Amino acid sequence: MRRILFSMSTTGHFISRSSDGAGHVRYFYRNSTDDSIQFGFGSPQYQNELYGLKVCSAAGMMAAYSTVRPVCTSENYLPPAGGFNRGDPHLSTLSNRSYTFNGHCEYHLLTSERWPNSPTLRLQARTAPVSGGAATAFVGVALKSGLNELAVSVIRNESSDDLDVFSSDGRRIGSVRGELAALSNATRLDSYRLEVPDNSTIDIVDESTGVSVTVTMETSSLRVGVQLDLAGKYPSGLDGLLGDSDASGFRLRNGSVLPAGSSERQLFEFGNSWRLNSSEPSYLHYPAGKGRADFCDLSFVPAFAEDFNDNLLELFGGNTELKNASEEVCRSSGSSDLTCMFDAAQLRSVAAAQDAAVAIRDETRTRVVLANRPPQFVSAPSQLRVNGSNSVGVTFSVTDPDGASPNVTVLEAVGGTAKLEAGASGSWQLVWQPVDNWRGDIKLQLVAVDEVGAVTVWTPRIVVCDCGSRGRCCPDCGMADDTAYYHREECKCDLGFTGPQCEQAVKICLTSDCQEPQDKGDEEDGRVDDRWSGVFKVGRSVHGEHSIIIASVGAVTSLVLLSVRLN
């Protein structure tokens, strides 16, 4: 069993680490990623899932638990899908297809309406004309997903230059630069988790489904990023403006498909097919006295960037100064994308070019992170067996599916010290040295991290045999101490000794001429002799009609009770 959490980021939530925090919890019971279940961190389902683990740990049955629920690795990790939009607006679908769409209404960004047995997912967006009048930009976003009764809506407030957040029952939750920014903890709404990482961004995570949406305020527009796990949930991906419904191109609502190389005018038809119709509920917030008709202009036809490929100056309306400044910003950021120039021209602002350049760079970096697969521990044992305070060594390898060179470090070492040495061809040598006479908790974790930041943790279970030379460990007798990270095997003590580590001598002699078992101690060469035996005189003690004869033969002490008649 493993736990994966989505960590916070200004561009969304990535599967990257396993500490408690933002995001949902996903458990895998499987050899493939399809056999899994997700639920909210701290939810009743989460608590129920941990109950069995806690009971088995308390009962000293972790070995049996691990047999049924073996610890899996990130070997079958599937990168989550991500969709993005920016500017006026430029969209990148879940399958990384980019296009520009400038409709003026309310639209489905993502929807699972074709898949009745899949989790509910409705991500909607509202557009409005920008200052240039020939393009539109996103000004509102709403999410309804999972089993949540309510939806969350984020609306750009032009008058206060802020993002207002509403629930679908009409309540105002707060603003990004106001009430929400002042909170030290995340805001909860049903299973949604709302966090404000900075004064222009809000992250919305549905912990019941693992969907995360990041909304960022830019110059006269909103940038929206969505990341989610498609595996097993939506048979052929999702529909909508960011959908991934057909590998060959863009699927319209009527089922027809536009080729991947379609023109902006053709894609304008595709985008408008995902406009909310009159029978579909909108989860976007409406001011008092307003409705959907107030935010739609079905006759709107935008300018198309492809018409200005050969005449950028015309795109800028002859404004050479703005064109040159915008071009410098777009190119200096590593992007000569026409859409970057188009944003600056339509918004009549170099700041818009700066926003576009940052968005392009962030999207590129985000997709690299999403597609990156974590490193793998190879030939690393599931457990390390430790005898007393003797050190134990193991050699393992770490590989990376993407050809990176991961670094390995000790994440945690309790009850001992861990020494790591790198070898050739990705091999590593680990030496674990237990602390002498340690009776506390034991935990060892190593972490492998690649250049992109993907993490894999190896947690070998420490099996401790610390009966010393007064007894032997009995794997079949149960565990004296058992947790998810280690267990101590029960000691079967030699005659004359008892205690958890056979450290207590027991008097067994009945007469004065009998000698108690003796600790033979260390050999002259310093090695511990684990042969303990009693050294006795051969004699007898008379108690009425019975005689007790005690004898020692080698390392085996025999206690013989003879019933004889003494003359």
Measured in degrees and rounded to the nearest 5, phi and psi for residue 215 equal -115, 125
Q: What is the CATH number of domain 373-506?
A: 2.60.40.10
Residues 516-534: what's their mean pLDDT?
A: 43
8-state DSSP, 267: H
Residue 13 has a pLDDT of 32
On the question of pLDDT at 60 being above 70, the answer is no
Q: Among 178-192, 216-230, 380-394, 515-529, whose mean pLDDT is lowest?
A: 515-529
Residue 557 has a pLDDT of 38
Angle at alpha carbon of residue 549, lines to 545 and 550, rounded to 5°: 150
Residues 93-107: what's their mean pLDDT?
A: 85
For every residue of 330-397, DSSP letters joined together read: HHHTT---HHHHHHHHHHT-HHHHHHHHHHHHHHHHHHHHHH----EEES--SEEEEETT--EEEEEE
Helix (H, G, I), strand (E, B) or coil at 321: helix
* HEC letters along 191-239: CEEEEEEECCEEEEEECCCCEEEEEEEECCEEEEEEEECCCCCCECECE
On the question of pLDDT at 55 being above 60, the answer is yes
- 18 vs 347, higher pLDDT: 347
On the question of pLDDT at 410 being above 90, the answer is yes
Tokens standing for 397?
Answer: 């390898």
Residue with tokens 């608590």: 47
On the question of pLDDT at 195 being above 80, the answer is yes
Confidence label for 388 from pLDDT (cuts 50, 70 and 90):
confident
The pLDDT tens digits for 204-235 are 998 777 788 999 998 778 888 888 776 667 76
Residue 74 has a pLDDT of 53
Report the chain's mean pLDDT, rounded to a whole number: 75
Among the listed residues 286, 456, 280, 302, the one whose alpha carbon sits nearest the alpha carbon of residue 372: 456
Paired residues of 533 in beta bridges: 518
Residues 189-199: what's their mean pLDDT?
A: 90
Residue 564 has a pLDDT of 39
- 47 vs 355, higher pLDDT: 355
On the question of pLDDT at 487 being above 90, the answer is no
Q: Among 35-39, 80-84, 111-115, 463-467, whose mean pLDDT is lowest?
A: 35-39
Residue 29 has a pLDDT of 33
Percent of the chain with pLDDT strictly greater than 70: 70
Residue 354 has a pLDDT of 80
Residue 338 has a pLDDT of 73
On the question of pLDDT at 20 being above 60, the answer is no
- 99 vs 68, higher pLDDT: 99
Report the distance separating Cα 224 and Cα 198, nearest Å: 15
Query: Which span out of 4-8, 65-69, 352-356, 372-376 was modeled with the highest average pLDDT?
Result: 372-376
Confidence label for 246 from pLDDT (cuts 50, 70 and 90):
low
On the question of pLDDT at 37 being above 60, the answer is no
- 25 vs 109, higher pLDDT: 109
Tokens standing for 54?
Answer: 């806690």
Residue 259 has a pLDDT of 84
Residue 62 has a pLDDT of 66
Report the distance separating Cα 507 and Cα 136, nearest Å: 92
Residue 491 has a pLDDT of 87
Indicate the pTM of the whole model: 0.55
The pLDDT tens digits for 348-374 are 788 877 877 777 777 667 667 767 788
Tokens standing for 122?
Answer: 């409705």
The pLDDT tens digits for 120-172 are 899 999 999 887 678 888 999 999 998 889 999 999 998 899 999 999 999 99
Per-domain residue ranges of the chain = 80-283, 308-371, 373-506, 509-567
